[in-house]
Structure 1
Amino acid sequence: MEINNYSSRNIQSQSRKKFRFDSILTVILLLALFLYGWQIWKAGSANAFYTAAIKSMTESFSNFWYGSFDPAGYITVDKPPVALWFMAISAKIFGLHGWSIVLPSVLFGVGSVYLMHRLVAPYFGKNAGRLAALAMTITPIVVADSRTNNMDATLVFFLLLALWFLEKAIVQKKVWALIVSFSLIGIAFNVKMLQAFMILPAMYLFYWMAANENWKQKVKKLIFATVGLAVFTLAYPVSVDLTPASQRPYVGGSETNSELELAFGYNGTERLLGQTTGTGGTFGAGMTSKSQSKSMGMPGGGKMPTGAKNAMKKGKNGKTTMPTGAPGGQKGRQNMGAGGGGGAFNIGTIGPFRLFQSSLGPQISWLLPFAIIGLIGSLAYYHDRKKRWYSLSHEQKQLVLWAGWLVPVYGFFSVASFFHPYYTIMLAPPIAALFGIGVVSLARLFKDNTRTNWKFYLFPSAILTTAALQAWYVYSYYPWLTWLILGIVIVASLLLFIFPKNNASKISMVVATITILIAPGWWSLTPTLSAESAMIPTAGPSLLSTSSSGPGGGGGMGNSKVNTKLLNYLEKHQGNAKYLFATSDSTTAAPYIIKTGKAVMAMGGFNGTDPAITLSQFKKLVKNGDLKYFYYSGRSGNTKIINWIKKHATKVKSSLYQDSSSKQQFGGFGTSTSKGSTNKPESSKKSATTPNAPKGMRNGKNMPGKGVPSKIKQSTSAKSTAKAGNKQSTKKSQTAMPTGMGGMGSSGTLYDLSTIYK
């Protein structure tokens, strides 16, 4: 067996060679640019939660630094601001448009494709690198994520860049490159917190195995690298926590106004163990197949693609639902944006095969079987027979790196209770790398062995297993494609067995490989064709349904509508008030911030449960004239404040702000130049037990550390939300976000607070 020669000298000589144009890689990069960037000018407000923050971040450096959700600097988003910094800079340069806020994600996505090639090709050849880049390009969730202003595309780019510097550190024996590599993980931490640390074990292990140095040098350099990791990880959150709370916004998503608590709590352990919601339940715990099947459905009530209707059935609640195990990929405009089942976040049933289930599989797992078999075959192919079985070749060490990324991330998503399906983009790089390497390695094993050797059967097994999984995924939508994939692959496999050593086998392998790229390629094309840039990105044929509401970015959780009649009333009566109005949550506030650029107080952060303000602080804002109106959309929030408002404030006549014609608009990019107040807060008194008030409030009184931040609320029925000002009724059997988010003036209640202290 011929093993590819690998040495530091060979890799260094490759880097010194004159640049050679790679036409195939160029085509792949152009394909990525098309898939990620085409029609982003129709992105609308994309993820309105982050778009409102981007709008606010362009208003002042303080808002930019902290990632403030609102122009007044009252509360931040529930993630660190590094990814948003790039988007805010883009918006500052090009103006706030749908395409300008999505552009950084597009560029990071294309950059990740290029890095995939750079990480694979030097060690496994150009073909393996190209296939890895192509697999990364057409992974459906990669396309969906790269078309939004979410943080995931940025995160993956920094992780891949960290691996590139790690390879450089090993080849050139440069400690600075190693420090940069681990420091980039620290930066990635401030993109999406602990999610970035999932590849750290693989990095430490790989450096220890691959570096051609004695153990003392390795330990010394790893200590320096770890220091760099710690510095870049902790610099931002510590600087935030050390800043007096009265001089900065409240840290959204945290219970104690702490960036570190946000990192290790809400964005840390809760992602694995489940999130305690504002209603007292623990999200994700105890998800069973039975509960999953009840929750599965075609969100948005859209028309099913051809063939999907046969897979539908009636649930006990009278709604049409997908049967357990039916392939996902639904758009979900009016619910969570992902569709297909698996509870509120459509994440399937906990277990070792969760990523193969219909809830997550059609987004990420199309090539996963081939990647796993390819890993096994590649380890066998690159084993040096002249060495002992436990001695790893250079190529095998590279495989350990990718396996070290795949295995822990796969394990996390198999058992985690609180994540969105689009988080699975974390699996895209190792799957793509192992697929590209696997195709080349398994093809060589097939060529070099006979029917008496088990390695001979690895390529056909990988093809058939992958095709079978894909056939199951596509059957609900395109039965004909199922039989086409299976037919081509079976015929190709038969030809491989009948003519293993001639040109027919080569053609069969090429055809079979192309065949298993057809379905994921089509799924990845759907967000592009539908101009999808949703808050909860997803891919699948349902995006192309004619019943989808509006152009890309117009629907899905978080993209509430602007009630123009309500907005006109508020602007007319705002006067000198600091805030246009207050409301319970960011979902309701975001469209108005985007539309006007004015300060809107999202009292409890993303979903209304953050303990960002106390009743006494709220009263002071009202008494000082900084806040005149409160809009109650029906969503839960600070009960004490809401009850006080209902008891003492005056209801505004619904005819003055409710849009009876229902001509409401999605929060677009308005031309208003008005900005939130820049008044500085008064000094605050410190407390030993409670956090201080955020910068956005006049007084600086201490706040209680009560309440549990949450992203998921039980859904309210249409009838209960229509009763303005009444108690919100919930259905325990439902976990989706309420449709319409309170109606934005069509079913909510506007309270005049200015009459309270008259």
Structure 2
Amino acid sequence: MREKFKNIKVDKWLLAILALAAILYGWGTWDAGNANSFYTSAITSMLQSWSNFWYGAFDPAGFITVDKPPVALWFMAISAKIFGLHGWSIVLPSVLAGIGSVYLLYRLIAPKFGAFAGRLAALFMTLTPIVVADSRTNNMDAILVFTLLLAIYFLQKAVNQNKFWQVLIAFGLIGVGFNIKMLQAFMILPAMVVYYWLSVKKPFKRKLGWFIGGVASLAIFTLAYPVAVDSVSKDRRPYIGSSQTNSLLELAFGYNGTERLLGQSTGTGGAFAGMNSTTKKSQQKNTKGQMPSGQKNSKRTKNGQQNMTPPTGKTAKATGQAGGNRSRQNMPTGKNGQKARNNIQAKGTKKVGKTNNMTPPTGTRGNKKGSMSMGGGNNAFAIGTAGPLRLLQQDLGSQIGWFIPLSLIGMLIGLLGYRDRKKKWYYLTSEQKEVVLWAGWLVPVAGFFSVAGFFHPYYTIMLAPTIAALSAIRLAYLKQQQEQAKDGKMHRWVGSLWAICLLATTGVQAYYAWSYYPTASVALLAVGAALAVWWVIDNRPVRHRIAVSLITLVAMASWWAATPTIAHESAAIPSAGPSLLTSQGSQDLGGEVNTSILKYVTKHQGNAKYLFTTSDSNSASGYIIKSKKAVMALGGYNGTDPTMTLNQFKKLVKSGQVKYFLSSGDKGGSGQIGKIITWIKKHGTKVKLSGTQTNSTSSTQSFGGGMGGNNSSTLYDLSNIYSK
């Protein structure tokens, strides 16, 4: 046994990269607070019953689910069950998934392209800014990426070892990924299918049989859970959040499917400010940081990013905001209790007006040119202008675009450089097949994000593995060519390719950094240009030149990637960038609690099933986390899900199951939920609480209203409606 372990080679560079990933992804997560309070509320509820755990119920009463299947939340709930409900325990699965993805990428690249390429791929993945930001939250993206990489790992093993069961696992894992973030997992299927048919060495009939088996495994693992849920009587399970027909399959192909590409057309007009706005002013192009018309109260940071400052122009600290991290609300079980801002909320807040902070799509692709930008990756819907260069624009590029030039050149070099010149042009070597796999991941996913109308910037973590892999393949190939130089001289084209990559990559990176660090951007360009000239005029394999070039390529990206860690950021809308180091960090999507309201409804709840009702999930999440009691989010995440009719709600009120409704600027209007809110405001009695101004709140102290909605909070007593 000892001899066996002696033969195991430990890659010390890989260990160092994994340690770096652990620090970047995990350091400061003890300040994670509620992270994404929408999902933290679900985790709180899932710990209270097996039914809530199985369905991913948002509230302890199991009234409605979150807007995704619960597989990723299962891991988070298990972690919270083992370690207790804390900020760090709910983000721990994402931290581990992020580190695991770095390791898997090394294992996927090193066998074919060498340890150097594997290390580079792992390093590029580790230092991609959005990977760091995503791996520090309880969103599902880091776990999804790990699952997809695991699927690729088993498919690669199936090719190398000719094992049918590994094909089944590979395609089955994509089905598991579907039950993490639905159709987003299917984006790499074309790459897997092409790679399978190119690489598996079996007779056609056997290969076809294996493929059919893989498709069957995919179908089983994809459909088993949603079919099981949809087959349960609707009155015996929670409503499927963000669906329009109370169906998980409809959710997958509607809100989480076609609407991601074409733009959101359901669930609009509720919790999101400006969601139904169709004026050109509210949808104008804003990639340079200018504010849309009507947003006079929001400030602009150095890089033009729109940040949600108090309308009075005061700092977040002055309004009770804790530092630059708006997601850092202490968990109710944390040792320090609620943060100071909740104490301020208990005393009441001053009326400071409102700010139109986050405007999502309106069912189209923004304006006629497809612009949905609101300036900067910190914004929930800052996705730039649709088109072939969207991923390189400031909004998305500052999160994912740092190594895109390297990856594109790497894709071409991989396909051309690894060819066997003794064979026909259409013959593919094993290395070329691996490049086809990663190119098959890159092209369709990049194409989707280039034209899609409805997604958040942090979704672009889907591109991180393939960008890292292709970039590493490119640099490893050029290093190999340098090492094979004859007579002490390289081919001129090797130096020219190094020069092109340095100029293109440092140019893009300097563009992202310019508005924050103009001097550093100029320095980066100068160093990149000097190195490019050196590579062109000097064709000797100079020692350490590759190391200096690599440091230049990763220096600025490393700083950008470190900002969430330095800021101890675990945001609902993950992002990276220097704005996190100021008082204007990422936005929190609800999760705030007015302690006066909470004390009142808790004291007067009586035998009511629900502590109170509200229009949307973000208005309810903080109260669920704090009290561990059921709060009914009538309209789900967007505040518009048709969960019940007015007559059904009247029955709940008449039976005493619902006694209070907390309005957070809800205007009523059309739709079932709108009718219910209109009825409540007509017949309910406003509750006057001592020490709380119920009709006013600061824009940063959101007592609800969803993602940037009108933050006015009013508590209505419904218990006397039928006794009048």
Same fold (TM over 0.5): yes
CA contact (8 A) 1:331 1:538 kept: no
Aligned positions, number: 651
Q: 1:579 to 1:25 in 2, by over 3 A?
A: same
Q: Distance in 2 between matches of 1:589 and 1:232?
A: 33
Q: Which residue of 1 aligns with 2:527?
A: 488
Q: 1:284 to 1:138 in 2, by over 3 A?
A: farther
Q: 1:666 to 1:24 in 2, by over 3 A?
A: farther
Q: Which residue of 2 aligns with 1:403?
A: 439
Per-residue CA deviation, residues 367-386 of structure 1 (Å, 9 max, x unaligned), is 00011111111222211111
CA contact (8 A) 1:182 1:226 kept: yes
Q: Distance in 2 between matches of 1:502 and 1:340?
A: 44
Q: Distance in 2 between matches of 1:95 and 1:350?
A: 43
Q: Which residue of 2 aligns with 1:498?
A: 537
Q: Which residue of 2 aligns with 1:531?
A: 568
Q: Which residue of 1 aligns with 2:620?
A: 589
CA contact (8 A) 1:354 1:414 kept: yes
Q: Report whether the alignment pairs 1:290 with 2:285.
A: yes
Q: 1:84 to 1:299 in 2, by over 3 A?
A: farther
Q: Which residue of 1 aligns with 2:106?
A: 117
Per-residue CA deviation, residues 55-74 of structure 1 (Å, 9 max, x unaligned), is 00000000000000000000
Per-residue CA deviation, residues 285-307 of structure 1 (Å, 9 max, x unaligned), is 999873655765899956846xx
Q: Distance in 1 between matches of 2:415 and 2:667?
A: 54
Q: Distance in 1 between matches of 2:87 and 2:561?
A: 21
Percent identity over paired residues: 55
Q: 1:100 to 1:290 in 2, by over 3 A?
A: closer
How far residue 451 of structure 1 moved from its aligned partner, in angstroms, is 8.8
Aligned pairs for 1:312-391 within 5 A: 335-336=357-358, 340-341=375-376, 345-391=381-427
CA contact (8 A) 1:585 1:607 kept: yes
SS of 2:105 mapped into structure 1: helix
Q: Distance in 2 between matches of 1:599 and 1:290?
A: 41
Given residue 514 of structure 1, which amino acid in structure 2 is its aligned partner? I
Q: Report whether the alignment pairs 1:641 with 2:606.
A: no
Q: Distance in 2 between matches of 1:459 and 1:444?
A: 13
Q: Which residue of 2 aligns with 1:623?
A: 654
How far residue 483 of structure 1 moved from its aligned partner, in angstroms, is 1.8
SS of 2:716 mapped into structure 1: strand
How far residue 457 of structure 1 moved from its aligned partner, in angstroms, is 1.9
Query: Which of 681, 688, 696 matches 1:653?
Result: 688
CA contact (8 A) 2:481 2:490 kept: no
Per-residue CA deviation, residues 160-213 of structure 1 (Å, 9 max, x unaligned), is 000000011111111000000000000000000000000001101101001111
Q: Which range moved further: 211-220 or 526-535?
A: 211-220
Q: Distance in 2 between matches of 1:217 and 1:544?
A: 57
Query: Which of 77, 87, 95 matches 1:98?
Result: 87
Query: Which of 707, 713, 718 matches 1:748?
Result: 713
Q: Which runs of 5+ in 2 are unaligned?
A: 314-323, 328-354, 360-372
Q: Report whether the alignment pairs 1:598 with 2:629.
A: yes
How far residue 661 of structure 1 moved from its aligned partner, in angstroms, is 11
Q: 1:631 to 1:587 in 2, by over 3 A?
A: same
How far residue 632 of structure 1 moved from its aligned partner, in angstroms, is 0.8
SS of 1:387 mapped into structure 2: coil
Q: Distance in 1 between matches of 2:420 and 2:81?
A: 55
Q: Which residue of 1 aligns with 2:318?
A: none
Q: Distance in 2 between matches of 1:243 and 1:420?
A: 32
Q: Which residue of 2 aligns with 1:211?
A: 200
Q: Report whether the alignment pairs 1:177 with 2:166.
A: yes
Q: Which residue of 1 aligns with 2:499?
A: 460
CA contact (8 A) 2:491 2:539 kept: no
Q: Report whether the alignment pairs 1:518 with 2:507.
A: no
Q: Which residue of 2 aligns with 1:278?
A: 268
Given residue 490 of structure 1, which amino acid in structure 2 is its aligned partner? A
CA contact (8 A) 2:380 2:456 kept: no
CA contact (8 A) 2:29 2:91 kept: yes
Q: Distance in 2 between matches of 1:161 and 1:300?
A: 46
Given residue 635 of structure 1, which amino acid in structure 2 is its aligned partner? D
Given residue 290 of structure 1, which amino acid in structure 2 is its aligned partner? K
Q: Which residue of 1 aligns with 2:579?
A: 542
Query: Which of 406, 410, 416 matches 2:452?
Result: 416
How far residue 500 of structure 1 moved from its aligned partner, in angstroms, is 1.1
Q: 1:661 to 1:246 in 2, by over 3 A?
A: closer
Per-residue CA deviation, residues 11-41 of structure 1 (Å, 9 max, x unaligned), is xxxx999421111100000100000000101
How far residue 748 of structure 1 moved from its aligned partner, in angstroms, is 1.6
Per-residue CA deviation, residues 270-293 of structure 1 (Å, 9 max, x unaligned), is 000110152397899999873655
CA contact (8 A) 2:242 2:641 kept: yes
Q: Distance in 2 between matches of 1:96 and 1:664?
A: 28
Given residue 359 of structure 1, which amino acid in structure 2 is its aligned partner? D
Q: 1:218 to 1:92 in 2, by over 3 A?
A: same
Q: Which range moved further: 612-621 or 99-108?
A: 612-621
Given residue 545 of structure 2, which amino acid in structure 1 is its aligned partner? S
CA contact (8 A) 1:241 1:258 kept: yes
Q: Which residue of 2 aligns with 1:558?
A: 589
Q: Report whether the alignment pairs 1:253 with 2:242.
A: yes
Q: Which residue of 2 aligns with 1:233?
A: 222
When normalised by structure 1's length, the TM-score is 0.80
SS of 1:366 mapped into structure 2: helix
CA contact (8 A) 1:271 1:419 kept: yes
Q: Which range moved further: 265-274 or 294-303?
A: 294-303
When normalised by structure 2's length, the TM-score is 0.84
Q: Report whether the alignment pairs 1:430 with 2:425.
A: no
Query: Which of 437, 440, 454 matches 2:476?
Result: 440
CA contact (8 A) 1:145 1:422 kept: yes
Q: Distance in 1 between matches of 2:548 and 2:296?
A: 36
Given residue 135 of structure 2, which amino acid in structure 1 is its aligned partner? S
How far residue 479 of structure 1 moved from its aligned partner, in angstroms, is 1.3
How far residue 559 of structure 1 moved from its aligned partner, in angstroms, is 2.9
Q: Distance in 2 between matches of 1:460 and 1:163?
A: 32
Q: Report whether the alignment pairs 1:62 with 2:51.
A: yes
CA contact (8 A) 2:28 2:565 kept: yes
Query: Which of 600, 603, 606 matches 1:569?
Result: 600
Given residue 614 of structure 1, which amino acid in structure 2 is its aligned partner? T
Q: 1:533 to 1:667 in 2, by over 3 A?
A: farther
SS of 1:751 mapped into structure 2: strand
Given residue 270 of structure 1, which amino acid in structure 2 is its aligned partner? E
Given residue 486 of structure 1, which amino acid in structure 2 is its aligned partner? L
Q: 1:534 to 1:363 in 2, by over 3 A?
A: same
Q: Distance in 2 between matches of 1:145 and 1:224?
A: 34
How far residue 489 of structure 1 moved from its aligned partner, in angstroms, is 1.6
Q: Which range moved further: 634-643 or 596-605?
A: 634-643
Q: Which runs of 5+ in 1 are unaligned?
A: 1-14, 320-329, 550-554, 669-715, 722-735
Q: Which residue of 1 aligns with 2:517?
A: 478
Q: Which range moved further: 127-136 or 555-564?
A: 555-564
RMSD of aligned residue pairs (Cα, Å):
3.3
Given residue 57 of structure 2, which amino acid in structure 1 is its aligned partner? S
Q: Which residue of 1 aligns with 2:367?
A: none
SS of 1:367 mapped into structure 2: helix
How far residue 421 of structure 1 moved from its aligned partner, in angstroms, is 0.2
Q: Distance in 2 between matches of 1:191 and 1:300?
A: 37
Per-residue CA deviation, residues 572-623 of structure 1 (Å, 9 max, x unaligned), is 1111111000010011100000000000000000121000111111111111
How far residue 268 of structure 1 moved from its aligned partner, in angstroms, is 0.4
Q: 1:410 to 1:386 in 2, by over 3 A?
A: same
Q: 1:486 to 1:94 in 2, by over 3 A?
A: same
Q: Distance in 2 between matches of 1:466 and 1:756?
A: 66
SS of 1:579 mapped into structure 2: coil
